[in-house]
Amino acid sequence: MLLLLDEPTTGLDPHSKREVQAAVLEIRDKHDATVMLTTHDMQEADELLTTAMDNKGGGSSP
């Protein structure tokens, strides 16, 4: 399963943001899904992803 998300929590209140993040983690873990996420929130990326890439240098970090 591949889950593509573009700024999924932008503009949400803190409670709704946590609910969306929990749903993403549940889908990722329950279905062994690959998650591709665009976000400006690096903390969110660290919490939801196992590998992160930036678009400036193309580097990645585990």
Q: Could you give the CA distance from residue 35 to residue 48 in angstroms, rounded to a whole number?
A: 8
Domain assignment present for 25: yes
For the entire predicted model, the pTM comes to: 0.78
Least confident residue range of 28-32, 42-46, 54-58: 54-58
- Distance between CA atoms of residues 39 and 41, nearest Å: 5
Separation between Cα atoms, residue 51 and residue 60, nearest integer Å = 7
Task: Report if residue 40 sits inside a domain.
Answer: yes
Q: What would the mean pLDDT of 31-59 be, rounded to a whole number?
A: 83
Which residue segment(s) compose the domain that 33 sits in? Answer: 2-57
Residue 50 has pLDDT above 90, yes or no: no
Q: CATH number of the domain at 49, please.
A: 3.40.50.300
**38 occurs within a structural domain:** yes
- Rounded to the nearest integer, the mean pLDDT of the chain is 88
In a domain, 13, yes or no: yes
62 within domain boundaries? no
